[in-house]
Structure 1
Amino acid sequence: MERVHFIGIGGTGLSAIARVLAEQGVSVSGSDRALSPLAQELIASGIPVALGHAAENVTGADLVIRSSAIPDDNPEVLAARARGIPVLKRADFLPRLLKDKRVLAVAGTHGKTTTAAMLAWVLTALGYDPSFIVGSVVHNLGKNAHAGKSDWFVIEADEYDRMFLGINPWVAVVTYMEHDHPDCFPTFEAYREAFEQFVGQIRQGGALLVCGDRPETFELAFSAPEQVQAYSYALHTPAHYRIADASPNAQGGFSGTILFRGSVLARLDLQIPGEHNLANALAAFATTHFLGMNPEEAAKALHDFSGSDRRFQVLGEEKGILVINDYAHHPTEIRSTLAAARARYPRRRIWAVWQPHTYSRTRALFNEFCRAFSDADRVIVTEVYAAREAQEDFSASQVVSQMLHSGAIFLPTLDKVTEYLFQELQPGDVLMVLSAGDADRVCAEVLHHYQNGSAFVSGEKTHD
């Protein structure tokens, strides 16, 4: 490969691959319809990124990699194919990228970004210099991807568009599996079958780690190939790896004692909030334990882990109002995130601003969304962020109308949300913006407003 061009380079998946290739010395270019923060970071590192899609952008490319959101009639896709340039998706390219690497792949409906980030950080802290691709910027490492000098490669194994089927891991972690991405997997059976196929690709002599707290996830252990060791980890059910005496700690996180088959391995003290992150840390720890790494050193590195972007990311506090940005967009994620907020801030009023992500998910999980906000005092729901889907005759107001939460309201636009917040927020409040779309701009506008005493109008943002 002399030059690789990425269509949709500003997304989490492609930006990470682009960074790894660039660090390996490959000539990289890209394009996107908007310059996301990740795209801007690539530009700052010397990678040319074109704003908008045009046929001339692929000139000189030997290979084109496109985002799953890029359609077949994209002008760069058409131009590449007309010139005989191969056009691949992530799943098609990953076998080339991961060839000759010992891959540690983290999959799951929830928790895979944080668990992969933890694992990349622990291996780095222990001196292994792994390559990694994570779906968010890891705060301890300052980026979402890296080409390391060792043969370890930590990768977040995304199930959307069956991307993770391009991976043959040495160790696979499945954090938590329940139905998601109904636009790609119409039924839970189709979703589970994809995970079973992923588990079936683990290399001989490797390992599978599954969360035992959800039976459907635990049952994936039976899909592991022969000569693959299967282990379970759990907080609330019997498992190979367990946490004893889990409890909140003074840092706002959770602590507990790690047990393996009943024997104490280490004490774990996290600074990031939420009991669900204790489970994520246990998965990362169990992976390093299987690999023979020092338990005490791994636990110390997990204590030092400070999180990643848009995962309970505390952005600041102004006039007594704390603003937190979070990527939660599935009912289970919303419940876990709000429970973490309630545990960390038990005496403060919690606001949840939720931007539903895709019509298909909002429809498929309608009833679960209606019940997901019990730990919030006030709830604002915006209109659906369509993302890759076409506009539909469906409104998130229908979800609000079925909520039993007495403090839930529907405000269709982000401008109306910020206007309402400016009027209603009070000192001591915690504002949590839950969005996989563009509602994170609300965080910036609220902070700017209370810093300067006037509303801030941001530029329109779009994402693949």
Structure 2
Amino acid sequence: MRVPGHVHFMGIGGIGMSAIARVLLAGGTSISGCDQRSTPLTEALAREGAIALEGHSPDHLRNTTLFVYSSAVPVDHPELVEARKRGIETIKRAEMLARLVNGRKGIAVAGTHGKTTTSTLIGYLLERAGLDPTLLLGGESIDLGSNARLGSSDLVVAEADEYDGSFLRLAPYWAILTNVEADHLDFYGSFDRLFDAFCQFLASVPSDGRIVACVDDPGVEKVLKHQGIRASIATYGLRSDATWRAENVQLEGPYSRFEAIHDGISLGEFRIGLPGAHMVRNALAAIATAVSLGVESALVRSALADFRGARRRFEVKGEFDGILVVDDYGHHPTEVAATLAAARSRLVGRRIVCVFQPHTYSRTKNLLNEFAVCFEDADELVLTEIYAARERDTLGISSTDLAARIERPRTTLVASLEDAADHLMGMLRPGDALITMGAGDVYRVGDMVAAKLSGR
């Protein structure tokens, strides 16, 4: 996958942008990119051969023939404006992703939750089977050590993000749909418009393609009734009418175990080292995809047991002075509740202390009632201020409003991540599990606590 000329990425430090840059780099494309600050990810890109620049400036455009920018870049940004003034082709990240996926045997993983783990697992299984796929992931695969991989086959596994309608640019051969819930209402305005977007996405799969969808989810079940769908449909889940279903599910212990059933025929027991019923569903989606593409179920079983997951998806950072530190990307009420329920069943006997950083003012305001009741499987909650991301504080919502709505568990509101770490050092005890959650930089709290505990 080589692009002629020189490609410049504005916002190259983003997880989706960096995946595309890495695939192009591996294919021999000349790459540069910039972001507001240097990070371990941009430093890794520099080691891999990219020109990684800190800050933004029109001076970055030297020799650029294609300018790729993220959704976070405003249309009047000087660097973008200058690129257009110079006649450089400018495209959004979603369009660049489409150029890599469309026309190939693209497998696009969509849904409100579970996209990263599911796409990472599908890619891992296909790679273990020797099918040599290209991977464009929304998180870093622990097994791969990266969020991207350039393969030699026509198979491309990509995470399909619904934010700002990005996934509607894709025309995948296969589509995986994990769930459909209210999110990104700052862009869509209503759930109905979000729902319509998912319908359009599935309608883009050709008649000789395949849709693999979680029938346990009410939103998915409704989307599957859309008249525009042309592809064949295989469902998965815990329901008895699913094409691929899990039975005899056991969530305790170091592995989640289940029996996989396909069209009434047992494929035997499978296990995955990630907790929770939601992870069983993610595993089923990957099993269905891999086996349908010709991978032997015995190989899938072995690989699934070895799978270590993606960074920030119930990632165990280690045990420090008897305190287990876990980090998770969950930032939607459904994700938070599922992760804490999984922790409750996996970490039997441990007190669960959750640090949550709300992500964006719009999501916090739109889902305030749902957030108020999603922490009940935690024993203690530490709530930070809202991580603004792309937004400004114009909606009259704060973490104080959320804290006032939460009846249980006991909630402590802190002003900064440093304050959160200091508070935790005074209340954590051996045997506890500390879980940091959010899509911002809340993982830093776990890192600070781990460093303090290691230094005692």
TM range (shorter): over 0.9
Confirm or deny that 1:10 pairs with 2:8: no
CA-CA distance at 1:221 after TM superposition:
2.1
**Alignment match of 2:72 (pick from 66, 69, 92):** 69
- Tell me which residue corresponds to 1:253: 255
**Alignment match of 2:390 (pick from 375, 388, 391):** 388
- Tell me which residue corresponds to 2:111: 108
- Tell me which residue corresponds to 2:378: 376
CA shift in 2, pair 1:224/1:327, >3 Å = farther
Aligned partners of 1:361, 1:100: CA distance in 2, in Å? 35
- Tell me which residue corresponds to 1:271: 273
- Tell me which residue corresponds to 1:35: 38
- Tell me which residue corresponds to 1:451: 454
Aligned partners of 1:95, 1:11: CA distance in 2, in Å? 17
In the TM superposition, 1:78-227 aligns within 5 A as: 78-223=81-226, 225=228, 227=230
Q: Which amino acid aligns with 2:185?
A: P
Task: Give yes or no for contact 1:232–1:241 (8 Å, CA) kept in 2.
Answer: yes
**297-306 vs 424-433, greater mean Cα deviation:** 297-306
Secondary structure at the counterpart of residue 223 of structure 1? coil
CA-CA distance at 1:295 after TM superposition:
1.6
**440-449 vs 235-244, greater mean Cα deviation:** 235-244
- Tell me which residue corresponds to 2:244: 241
Aligned partners of 1:226, 1:211: CA distance in 2, in Å? 16
CA shift in 2, pair 1:185/1:226, >3 Å = closer
Aligned partners of 1:224, 1:167: CA distance in 2, in Å? 19
In the TM superposition, 1:301-340 aligns within 5 A as: 301-340=303-342
CA-CA distance at 1:86 after TM superposition:
1.3
Q: Which amino acid aligns with 2:314?
A: F
CA-CA distance at 1:289 after TM superposition:
2.3
- Tell me which residue corresponds to 1:461: none
**394-403 vs 289-298, greater mean Cα deviation:** 289-298
Task: Give yes or no for contact 1:381–1:400 (8 Å, CA) kept in 2.
Answer: yes
Task: Give yes or no for contact 1:224–1:230 (8 Å, CA) kept in 2.
Answer: no
Where structure 2 has 5 or more consecutive residues not aligned to the other structure, the ranges are: none
RMSD (Å), alpha carbons? 1.3
1:249-307 deviation per Cα after TM superposition (whole angstroms, max 9, x unaligned): 54x22111111111112321111222210100000111122223212211221111111
CA-CA distance at 1:186 after TM superposition:
1.5
CA-CA distance at 1:91 after TM superposition:
2.2
1:125-155 deviation per Cα after TM superposition (whole angstroms, max 9, x unaligned): 0011100111111111111001101110000
1:313-355 deviation per Cα after TM superposition (whole angstroms, max 9, x unaligned): 1111111111111100000000111111111111010000000
CA shift in 2, pair 1:369/1:237, >3 Å = farther
**Identity between Structure 1 and Structure 2 (%):** 40
Secondary structure at the counterpart of residue 198 of structure 1? helix
Q: Which amino acid aligns with 1:401?
A: A
**296-305 vs 173-182, greater mean Cα deviation:** 296-305
Q: Which amino acid aligns with 2:255?
A: G
Task: Give yes or no for contact 1:213–1:237 (8 Å, CA) kept in 2.
Answer: no
Confirm or deny that 1:347 pairs with 2:349: yes
Secondary structure at the counterpart of residue 405 of structure 1? coil
CA-CA distance at 1:225 after TM superposition:
4.9
Task: Give yes or no for contact 1:255–1:270 (8 Å, CA) kept in 2.
Answer: yes
Aligned partners of 1:423, 1:64: CA distance in 2, in Å? 49
CA-CA distance at 1:39 after TM superposition:
1.5
Instruction: Provide the aligned length of Structure 1 versus Structure 2.
Output: 452
Q: Which amino acid aligns with 2:194?
A: Y
Aligned partners of 2:239, 2:450: CA distance in 1, in Å? 38
Runs of 4 or more consecutive aligned structure 1 residues displaced over 6 Å after TM superposition = none
Question: TM-score, normalized by length of structure 1?
Answer: 0.95
Task: Give yes or no for contact 1:104–1:154 (8 Å, CA) kept in 2.
Answer: yes
Aligned partners of 1:344, 1:40: CA distance in 2, in Å? 35
Q: Which amino acid aligns with 2:212?
A: L
CA-CA distance at 1:156 after TM superposition:
0.6
Q: Which amino acid aligns with 2:157?
A: V
Secondary structure at the counterpart of residue 188 of structure 2? coil
1:340-380 deviation per Cα after TM superposition (whole angstroms, max 9, x unaligned): 11111110100000000000000000000000011100001
Q: Which amino acid aligns with 1:84?
A: G
Aligned partners of 2:30, 2:110: CA distance in 1, in Å? 30
Task: Give yes or no for contact 1:208–1:221 (8 Å, CA) kept in 2.
Answer: no
Where structure 1 has 5 or more consecutive residues not aligned to the other structure, the ranges are: 454-464
Aligned partners of 2:273, 2:95: CA distance in 1, in Å? 38
Confirm or deny that 1:284 pairs with 2:286: yes
Aligned partners of 2:111, 2:421: CA distance in 1, in Å? 33
- Tell me which residue corresponds to 1:418: 421
Secondary structure at the counterpart of residue 224 of structure 2? helix
Task: Give yes or no for contact 1:107–1:156 (8 Å, CA) kept in 2.
Answer: yes
CA shift in 2, pair 1:305/1:230, >3 Å = same
**Alignment match of 1:293 (pick from 269, 281, 295):** 295
Confirm or deny that 1:407 pairs with 2:410: yes
Aligned partners of 1:174, 1:91: CA distance in 2, in Å? 18
CA-CA distance at 1:59 after TM superposition:
1.3
CA shift in 2, pair 1:226/1:188, >3 Å = closer
CA-CA distance at 1:37 after TM superposition:
2.5
- Tell me which residue corresponds to 2:61: 58
